[in-house]
Amino acid sequence: MRTKILFLALSLFCLHFTANAQREQTVLGKRNMGFSGIWGGSKHQLTRFGNTNNYVNAWHFGLEFGKALTIGWGRYDLNGSILWDNEPGQNFDINWHVMSLGYAFQSYKAVHPYITVDGGKGFAKYANEGKDRIWVIQPAAGVEINVFRWLHLGLEGGYRFVTGSDLSLTDRQLSNPYAQATLKFGFSWGRYRKNDDQNNHRD
């Protein structure tokens, strides 16, 4: 699981620098790849555990680089213990901490594509089996809306992969698709510059 998380993280970094290089040639001018913003807020996830729909809430905090790449961390919690498959005595609870990588394409636009990968460890608890450590990775894709400069709204869909479960619930039973709304509060400084060659061509 750790290998998968590392691989996805490296892939996202490669995507970041490749996409940035393409923009420098076509749409945007040279861009500082340094620290460019701070964001934090909440995530609201609708998913399934067993045969019921469930709500998972989360907090997140991240640092933005190059006005595109966000590196952060957070925590997800099931909104209270539930009964697995609504069976009496089958109490279930789960939470997980994550490191998060996100990439915004053309983030200067009011509505733009956004992809994320969250990964980390957590705990699941089922019936009288006690707590069990698990690993979770959540790739997602969607759109981000710049409501205000200090408030962004993300609408995403993804899949939660869980591994390492030693409970009578299997990894597959704990893994499922999800829909998510993300509220981001913060500030991003700096601006995009048009490619000088493009401007000269227009002249």
Region of 50 (left: φ > 0; alpha: ψ -120 to 50; beta: rest) is left
Domains of the chain: 2-21+36-202 (2.40.160.20)
DSSP 3-state assignment of 34? coil
Q: Which residue has the tokens 């493009």?
A: 198
User: Mean pLDDT for the chain?
Assistant: 85
Give the per-residue pLDDT at 99. 98
Q: What is the mean pLDDT of residues 166-192?
A: 93
Task: Give the per-residue pLDDT at 15.
Answer: 52
Q: How much is the pLDDT for 61?
A: 98
* Average pLDDT score over residue span 141-148: 98
Cβ neighbours of residue 32 under 8 Å, at least 6 residues apart?
A: 66, 190
User: Residue 191 above 70 pLDDT?
Assistant: no
Q: How many CB atoms lie within 10 A of CB 61?
A: 14
**pTM greater than 0.85 (yes/no):** no
Give the whole-number percent of the chain exceeding pLDDT 90: 72
pLDDT category of residue 192 using cuts at 50, 70 and 90: low
User: 64-93 burial, b for 16+ CB within 10 Å, e for fewer?
Assistant: bbbbbbbebebebebeeebebeeeeebebe
Q: How confident is the model at residue 33 (pLDDT cuts 50, 70, 90)?
A: low
pLDDT tens readout for residues 175-185: 999 999 999 99
**Residue 38 in tokens:** 């701070």
- Higher-confidence residue: 194 or 49? 49
Q: For residues 196 and 146, give the distance between their C-alpha atoms in angstroms, rounded to a whole number.
A: 26
81 confidence band (pLDDT: 50, 70, 90): confident
User: What is the reported pLDDT for 3?
Assistant: 53
Bridge partners of 140? 116, 158
Q: Which of the four pLDDT bands, split at 50, 70 and 90, describes residue 8?
A: low
